Structure 1
Amino acid sequence: MGPRHTQGLLLLFLLGASSSTEAPEVQCFKNVSMYIEEKDYHAFTWTTENVETCDNVTFCQESILIIKAAGTKTAILATKGCIPATMEEIMYIQHTPPPGLVAVSYSSYCDKSVCNDKDRLNEFGNLQEIPVTPTVSPTLQCPTCVALGTCDSAPSLPCPQGATRCYEGRLEIAGGGIESSVEVKGCTALMGCRLMAGMLTVGPMLVKEICQNKPLTQTPKAESGATCLPILVWRLHLLLPLVLESLVHFS
């Protein structure tokens, strides 16, 4: 009886220890927003009370894609929820810089419950200040529009200084609860079907860029001697601020 009783207590202890080491459940805010701002995109808000429970080893995410054309509307596609991830990180990407069309995105992964709680653009770093070059005397005019689905009309507008061509394309976006397309027309200085600069993901969103029925299906590689497109990527692993803080503390 003694040995059996001891073995039973040991088994219960091991079971309790294994259950106590399981990763706690993570809950994340869950929301999808597909939005066309006709005036000031800074007015966009992203509040929600919807919460979902994630599987183990899953992070919370909040991701946003903004596409703006000078003198016209702004498309905002945003998603919050759970996502499988390996580490915390923040990524800001300027896909297409001015002059003309501007495309920027932000995504963040975090591992604390309801940590994906940003609700205004001024909390997303440089997304709140998308630079747009002023228009000048028209030497080039392009049909200009940004719309979910298709543009009902695309007025021909003068291009900003430095723009050299007209862009006409469509972004097909799927993932993170979003299933939509965005039609984009406007002035740009970039050549080819490069509004997203070859980046095909924004957080959980998969993005396929189509121009003249030719989809961009993979990130082009720069050949020797080729000029890289002006894409700005800021990727911040959340460990870095802690390291910098420690360096400051001990300096």
Structure 2
Amino acid sequence: MGTPRIQHLLILLVLGISLLTSGLELYCQKGLSMTVEADPANMFNWTTEEVEICDKGALCQETILIIKAGTETAILATKGCIPEGEEAITIIQHSSSPGLIVTSYSNYCEDSFCNDKDSLSQLWEFSETTASTMSTTLHCPTCVALGTCFSAPSLPCPNGTTRCYQGKLEITGGGIESSVEVKGCTTTIGCRLMSGILAVGPMFVREVCPHQLLTQPRKTENGAICLPIPVWGLQLLLPLLLPSFIHFS
């Protein structure tokens, strides 16, 4: 008689432990989004009906990368479990107006369904550049696209911008594997649209820019003007310069 009672107690104990364990499971919203929007503040919907059960020690995460060029905005967003990290909310303005704008947001949290942001309305204020603030001298090809820009019209730049940018952001991680081509007006010098930050939540970003020729002549220490010449230019000049070198030698 004692043995069945002990077995029942053991079963109840196991059931109790399993109920406690299930109560500690972490549930996170799960989803991916990659899109280009003209009015993301009002049109982009970050809700998802998918749910993911995390492994022990994991956290929930929601991360978004926003790239605006002209009137178009590329959005790459991911939600789900993250195996490690610290609870934190991080917002970074990688490149700010005037010109190209790049902003990222990541939220690492420890409660079930805490990665529940559904829109961009509280994240980024999308401001339109009015015609009165546009430059009459600087124009740049302008576009942002997933993959490759098929059209990049030359548009007047906002006052305060100083140069044209052209590059690609290669993004992997968090379930995302994509590239974004970006062209437009900027104040950023060099290939630093991401301000040198390579990780955004679970996403890793590699910024790639074509080698661009300097547009301004530089002065040497003795005051002489040094004009930048590309390699193909040297190839054209060498046949003309060699006879002179041979003659003087």
Class of the TM-score when normalised by the shorter of the 2 chains: 0.7 to 0.9
1:56 matched residue in structure 2: 56
| Aligned counterparts of 1:177 and 1:60: Cα–Cα separation in 2 | 14
When the two structures are superposed, what TM-score results if normalisation uses the length of structure 2? 0.73
1:97 matched residue in structure 2: 96
Deviation of 1:126 (Å): 3.7
- Residue aligned with 2:197, SS: coil
| Aligned counterparts of 1:84 and 1:180: Cα–Cα separation in 2 | 22
2:26 matched residue in structure 1: 26
> Which residue of 128, 139, 142 corresponds with 2:140?
142
Q: Which runs of 5+ in 2 are unaligned?
A: 1-8, 213-249
When the two structures are superposed, what TM-score results if normalisation uses the length of structure 1? 0.73
Deviation of 1:84 (Å): 2.3
| Aligned counterparts of 1:150 and 1:199: Cα–Cα separation in 2 | 22
| Aligned counterparts of 2:157 and 2:194: Cα–Cα separation in 1 | 20
| Aligned counterparts of 2:73 and 2:202: Cα–Cα separation in 1 | 21
Q: How many residues align?
A: 203
| Aligned counterparts of 1:78 and 1:213: Cα–Cα separation in 2 | 30
Q: Does 1:197 align with 2:195?
A: yes
| Aligned counterparts of 1:195 and 1:111: Cα–Cα separation in 2 | 31
Q: How does 1:1-251 map to 2 (within 5 A)?
A: 24-37=24-37, 39-42=38-41, 43-70=43-70, 72-122=71-121, 125-127=122-124, 129-131=125-127, 133-134=129-130, 135-212=133-210
CA 1:23–1:76 in structure 2 vs 1: closer, same or farther (change >3 Å)?
Answer: same
Query: Identical aligned pairs, as a percentage?
Result: 62
1:225 matched residue in structure 2: none
| Aligned counterparts of 1:193 and 1:81: Cα–Cα separation in 2 | 31
Instruction: Say if 1:102 and 1:130, in contact at 8 Å, map to a contact too.
Output: no
Q: Which runs of 5+ in 1 are unaligned?
A: 1-8, 215-251
Name which one, 1 or 2, has greater alpha-carbon Rg.
Answer: 2
Instruction: Say if 1:88 and 1:108, in contact at 8 Å, map to a contact too.
Output: yes
Letter matched to residue 83 of structure 1: I
CA 1:85–1:23 in structure 2 vs 1: closer, same or farther (change >3 Å)?
Answer: farther
Deviation of 1:109 (Å): 0.6
| Aligned counterparts of 2:211 and 2:61: Cα–Cα separation in 1 | 32
Tell me which stretches of 4 or more aligned residues in structure 1 moved more than 3 Å: 16-23, 130-135
Instruction: Say if 1:98 and 1:132, in contact at 8 Å, map to a contact too.
Output: no
Deviation of 1:141 (Å): 0.3
